[in-house]
Amino acid sequence: MEKLKKFGKIEFASNRRAKRVSVKLKANGLKVSMPPHVSRAYVVDFLLSKEKEILSRQHKLAKSQSHLRIVPGEAIQTATFVIKSKLVDRENLYFKLINKELTIEIPTHADLEAVALQTDCWKGINYFLRNEAKRVLPDRVMQLAAKHGFYVNSVKIQSSKTRWGSCSDKKNINLSLYLLLLPENLIDYVILHELCHTKEMNHSEKFWQLMDKVTDNSSKKLRNAIKEYKIPE
Average pLDDT value over all residues in the chain: 91
How far apart, in whole angstroms, are the C-alpha atoms of residue 38 and residue 57?
Answer: 25
What's the mean pLDDT in 50-77? 80
- Residue 216 Rama label (left phi>0; alpha psi -120 to 50; beta): left
% of the chain exceeding 90 in pLDDT: 62
Pairing assessment for the beta strands 172-176 and 165-167 based on DSSP bridges: antiparallel
| Entry pTM | 0.74
Residues contacting 68, CB < 8 A, separation 6+: 76, 181, 230, 232
Q: Which residue has the higher pLDDT, 162 or 88?
A: 88
Please report the sign of the dihedral spanned by the C-alpha atoms of residue 159, residue 82, residue 143, residue 185: negative
User: Three-state DSSP class for 141?
Assistant: helix
pLDDT of residue 10: 86
pLDDT per residue over 160-208, tens digit each?
Answer: 888 999 999 999 999 999 999 999 999 999 999 999 999 999 999 999 9
pLDDT at 121: 94
Residue 66 confidence class, pLDDT cut points 50, 70, 90: low
Q: Are 46 and 40 in contact (CB under 8 A)?
A: no
Q: With residue 167 as reference, give the H or E element that holds it.
A: strand 165-167
Model pLDDT, residue 38: 86
Contact 197, 206 (CB under 8 A): no
Model pLDDT for residues 132-165, shown as the tens digit of each residue: 999 999 999 999 999 999 999 999 999 988 899 9
Q: What is the CA radius of gyration of the chain?
A: 21
Fold of 130-226: Zincin-like (3.30.2010)
Per-residue burial over 65-82, b = 16 or more CB atoms within 10 Å of its CB, e = otherwise: beebbbeeeeebebbbbe
Confidence of residue 216 (pLDDT cuts 50, 70, 90): very high
pLDDT of residue 64: 58
Tell me the C-alpha distance between 48 and 31, whole Å.
Answer: 15
Q: What is the DSSP letter of 179?
A: G
Query: In the predicted model, is pLDDT for residue 228 greater than 90?
Result: no
Q: How many angstroms separate the CA atoms of 14 and 36, rounded? A: 5
Model pLDDT, residue 213? 97
* Domain extent listing, the chain: 2-64, 68-128, 130-226
Answer whether residue 27 shows pLDDT above 70: no
pLDDT grade, residue 61 (50/70/90)?
A: low
Looking at the predicted structure, is the pLDDT value of residue 63 above 80?
no
Indicate the pairing of strand 9-14 with strand 29-34. Answer: parallel
